[in-house]
Amino acid sequence: MLDTLRHIIQITEEQGHGTAAFNVFGYEDARAVIDAAEALDRPVILMTNKPALAHMPVHLLGGMLIQMAREASVPVGVHLDHADDLEVIEAALQTGYSSVMIDASQLPFEENISRTKYVVEMARDFGAGVEAEIGAVGYSDAPDTYQARYTQPEEAQEFAGRTGVDALAVAVGTVHRMQTQTARLQFGLLERIHKAVNTPLVIRGSSGISDADLKKLVLCGVRKVNLGTTLRMAFGQELRRQIEADEKLFDRIVMFQSCMTQVEKKARQKIEVL
């Protein structure tokens, strides 16, 4: 069933879990994630990011994911991830996304607040939730084009209070697109942020976090954990294995079956860890 960001986080919090949110790029990985969630009877969030929407328009990809969420036997959120274009955000809301993320973290503090408040007001008309970011999580493959910055507890408290967001992404040491689980998290900083903010916290770039630290994040107040690269690696590595094993393979539907199995295994494992 399609569900809201706030309600999904509430469910997992009551169960003592973290909410797993996965970037998906089409039917295959979305189906695998939902299958994993249904097998474990846990809510899950499907996210679409900029590369996904550059490949397929928001109304097409989002429309498919929303229908898949409606047909699922567990609560499934459909979330626009890491958006800085207000037109894309509005299109996602019109399509029926249950939540959106406005990322104005590269803007000055007051501009971030102003832009975020605008999106919160827009989303209310659609009954959708809003996530925003204070501080900034960088990228492993673009360290010089995106300014990373740790979140400060005082600014997180002010930002959450003034914007009224449903979830707040914070920067405590993760980096997007990491292919190894070697992120060094600042748990002391995270605990101070958690004490200062009542809003559910989000950690982005979580593919680079060890499973032990993922568990620790939940204990430190994190309620939503974003994962993407780990699923793409599971899919891509299995696709490569098949092609290298049989040079006559060409039918992607045939090859996608075992790719989906590997994505489901990885998604299930991360949901269980959380």
* Domain positions in the chain: 5-228+260-273
Over 70: is that where the pLDDT of 14 sits?
Answer: yes
pLDDT in tens, 154-204: 999 999 999 999 999 998 866 555 555 555 677 888 999 999 999 999 998
Q: What is residue 172's predicted lDDT score, i.e. its pLDDT?
A: 83
Structure tokens at 96: 């029926």
In angstroms, rounded to a whole number, what is the distance separating the alpha carbons of residues 229 and 28? 15
Side-chain half-sphere CA neighbours of 184 within 13 A: 0
**Can you name the residues that pair with 23 across neighbouring β-strands?**
47
Alpha helices (H) along the chain: 5-14, 27-40, 50-55, 58-71, 86-95, 109-124, 153-163, 187-196, 211-219, 229-245, 252-273
Q: What is residue 271's predicted lDDT score, i.e. its pLDDT?
A: 96
pLDDT in tens, 57-80: 999 999 999 999 999 999 999 999
Q: Residues 126-142: what's their mean pLDDT?
A: 79
In angstroms, rounded to a whole number, what is the distance separating the alpha carbons of residues 21 and 52? 15
Confidence of residue 208 (pLDDT cuts 50, 70, 90): confident
Mean pLDDT over the full length of the chain: 91
Q: Residues 1-12: what's their mean pLDDT?
A: 96
Structure tokens at 216: 């620790």
User: Is 238 one of the annotated binding-site residues?
Assistant: no
Pick the CATH number of 5-228+260-273 from 3.40.50.2300, 3.20.20.70, 3.40.50.12160, 3.40.640.10: 3.20.20.70
Structure tokens at 269: 């494992």
User: Is 41 one of the annotated binding-site residues?
Assistant: no
Residue 52 CA from chain centroid, whole number: 13
The pTM (predicted TM-score) of the whole model is 0.92
User: Is 103 one of the annotated binding-site residues?
Assistant: yes
Over 80: is that where the pLDDT of 139 sits?
Answer: no
Structure tokens at 272: 């269980």
Confidence of residue 20 (pLDDT cuts 50, 70, 90): very high
Confidence of residue 147 (pLDDT cuts 50, 70, 90): low
pLDDT in tens, 224-256: 999 999 999 999 999 999 999 999 999 999 999
Burial code (b: 16+ CB inside 10 Å, e: under 16) for 183-193 equals bebeeebbebb
Q: Which helix (H) or strand (E) holds 161?
A: helix 153-163
Percentage above 90 pLDDT, the chain: 77
Greatest distance between any 2 Cα atoms in the chain: 59
**Can you name the residues that pair with 175 across neighbouring β-strands?**
138
Q: What is residue 221's predicted lDDT score, i.e. its pLDDT?
A: 87
84 in catalytic set = no
Active-site pick, 29, 81, 166, 213:
81
In angstroms, rounded to a whole number, what is the distance separating the alpha carbons of residues 264 and 245? 22
259 neighbors 233 (Cβ within 8 angstroms): no
Between 74 and 220, the higher pLDDT residue? 74
115 neighbors 122 (Cβ within 8 angstroms): no
User: Is 7 one of the annotated binding-site residues?
Assistant: no
Nearest in space to 89 (alpha carbons), one of 102, 75, 78, 77: 102
Nearest in space to 223 (alpha carbons), one of 1, 3, 4, 6: 6
